[in-house]
Structure 1
Amino acid sequence: MDEKLGIAGSGAIACGLAAAAARHGQVVLWARSPDSARRAQAAVAKACGKISGEVNAAHVSVETDLDALGTATAVIEAVVEDPVAKAGLWGGLAGVVADEALLASTTSSLSVQALGAASGAPERFVGLHVFNPVPKMQLVELAFPVEATERTRQRAQDLCAALGKTAVAVPDIPGFVVNRLLFPYLFSAVTLQEESGLSAEAIDTCMQLGAGHPMGPLALLDFVGLDVAQAIGEAIGAPVPATLTALVEQGALGRKTGRGFYDYD
């Protein structure tokens, strides 16, 4: 891989991306706190262990000093899907990242144009939407601000190819392509459950065995995270079902909290 990758974030997407990149070279991952760094180190090691072939988790250096990203030639922000949080981080990165570094965000629904402006260098910016679990999922949606140069576009394509991913350039619209089409369908499953009283298992089994889906819609919502699903729905203008909103208010966010449409405890 020609780029030296730096990742700002320590959640599932950030750790999965670090593990996927570790087979191709050294990666620096920034975590906000020592506790976050310890969790990230464990998550990266676990993700590396699930990748076919030998992937050395030691290739990922987890740091708590933002300056550690200063030597990266490509910096990918992968923090919570909140425009204020992302813009704030880009403000902090402005004095850290190298002048020629490729800048990217893993946003799944926010305006790439606005994030590019927050970075201070929209000509070098790309929305690089990877899918969870990152080591297994092949697609990357690429969206660019209008200022992005042809060199930026080519570097983004080359980075995805080096990671073994298939990149598709998509318009900078809320939800891009996949989420814009996917989440109205997922929400329709919740609405069907509300109207019919069917169990989550019944709905998911129908879609798995009848439509050939690898995962049912309600299980998929739990996997994504119901708070994330709610944020995406609001961003793309898809009505969020009352049941999903109620679960989020209860702190039942899906697999990561042990309860959502299913009980994982």
Structure 2
Amino acid sequence: MAERGPARPERLAVVGSGAIGLGLARLAAPVVEVAVLARSADSAGRAREALAGTSARVVTAVEDLSDATLAIEAVAEDLEVKGRTLAALDAVLGPDAVVASTTSSLPVEALAAASGRPDRFGALHVFNPVERMALVELCLPAVAAAATGARLRSFATALGKEVVEVPDVPGFVVNRLLFPYVFSAVRLLEAHGLAPEDVDRCMTLGAGHAMGPLALLDLVGLDVAVAIGTAIGEPVPERMTAMLERGELGRKTGKGFFPYSRESRERSGPAAPIRR
């Protein structure tokens, strides 16, 4: 893994207090100044609890991010939502600030245009859990300044990440390969009635994967997985659509392909019987 230690200090703003946003804030807090923008008082309270013991501060007004030199949006994987967020950042940030998106599937050129500063924009696709996953996929729009790419790469390296620059294609590299695989696992359940545990055991024991495809979907969140699958043009299995309608999103709701403890979000028992 790359050696930590920033080439230049940044004042980091993170927009979004979900798993990715908070993971970034926790990881970056020992290295740079960090401010996290939460969308409500309730979200801010949860974010402060999650960031307790770090130097990161939590704010609820985008104007409080005006002194940031690097802003990373980590909001919902939706082009309109991200576009509004990027425009709001552009309105308050200084002219030299660099803006990045954690998108994993949306077109970077479109996000760059929405940012109002395409020469100072890039995508930094980090992986969940942020503190443990070594890779960052870096994707830059065609007009990005060389200094923008250098700053984003330097920042990711300072967090101890390995950076791979990827093309602006739906899903970049990882999700473009990953989602046909995990959705195929769901289709095996639909077509053959396999137990989720057995599908995952085949891949952990037979292919050496650290986690099976169904447990991975639960970790990612079925809502996020459906959004990514749709964005990259991968047909979403019917079972996942039904689970989404029932609010069975994986670890964050306590139930997905497997049940989870609400407190620890660790698996609490065997998979539920198949429901179509």
Give the TM interval when normalised to the shorter protein: over 0.9
Structure 2 residue matching 1:15: 3-state secondary structure: helix
CA displacement at 1:208 relative to structure 2: 0.7
Alpha-carbon distance in 2 for matches of 1:93, 1:209: 46
Question: How many residues align structurally?
Answer: 254
Determine whether 1:8 maps to 2:15.
yes
CA displacement at 1:26 relative to structure 2: 1.9
Alpha-carbon distance in 2 for matches of 1:43, 1:204: 30
Alpha-carbon distance in 1 for matches of 2:159, 2:130: 10
Paired AA for residue 65 in structure 1: A
Contact 1:101 1:124 in 2 (8 A): yes
Worse-matched range after superposition: 81-90 or 36-45 = 36-45
| Structure 1 residues 16-55: aligned runs within 5 Å | 16-45=23-52
Q: Aligned residues: percent identity?
A: 57
Structure 1 residue matching 2:23: 3-state secondary structure: helix
Which residue is equivalent to 2:179?
183
Paired AA for residue 20 in structure 2: I
Contact 2:10 2:32 in 1 (8 A): no
Determine whether 1:165 maps to 2:172.
no
Determine whether 1:92 maps to 2:88.
yes
TM-superposition CA deviations, 1:121-172 (whole Å, max 9, x none):
0000001100001011110000111110111111111111111111110001
Paired AA for residue 22 in structure 1: A
Structure 2 residue matching 1:104: 3-state secondary structure: strand
Determine whether 1:140 maps to 2:147.
no
Which residue, out of 104, 109, 125, partners 1:108? 104
Paired AA for residue 31 in structure 1: A
Alpha-carbon distance in 2 for matches of 1:44, 1:171: 33
Unaligned stretches of 5+ residues in structure 2: 1-5, 262-276
Structure with the largest fraction of helix: 1
TM-superposition CA deviations, 1:10-61 (whole Å, max 9, x none):
111000000000121321111111111011112233xxxxxxxxxx41x100
Which residue is equivalent to 2:235?
239
Determine whether 1:126 maps to 2:115.
no
| Structure 1 residues 50-89: aligned runs within 5 Å | 56-57=53-54, 59-89=55-85
Paired AA for residue 112 in structure 1: V
Alpha-carbon distance in 2 for matches of 1:137, 1:258: 23
Which residue is equivalent to 1:117?
113
Alpha-carbon distance in 1 for matches of 2:10, 2:33: 10
Structure 2 residue matching 1:263: 3-state secondary structure: coil
Which residue, out of 189, 194, 199, partners 1:193? 189
Alpha-carbon distance in 1 for matches of 2:191, 2:39: 43
Structure 2 residue matching 1:5: 3-state secondary structure: strand
Which residue is equivalent to 2:207?
211
Alpha-carbon distance in 2 for matches of 1:39, 1:135: 19
Which residue is equivalent to 1:52?
none
Alpha-carbon distance in 1 for matches of 2:231, 2:91: 30
Paired AA for residue 6 in structure 1: A
Paired AA for residue 42 in structure 2: D
Contact 2:24 2:131 in 1 (8 A): yes
Unaligned stretches of 5+ residues in structure 1: 46-55
Contact 1:16 1:44 in 2 (8 A): no
Paired AA for residue 79 in structure 2: P
Paired AA for residue 13 in structure 2: G
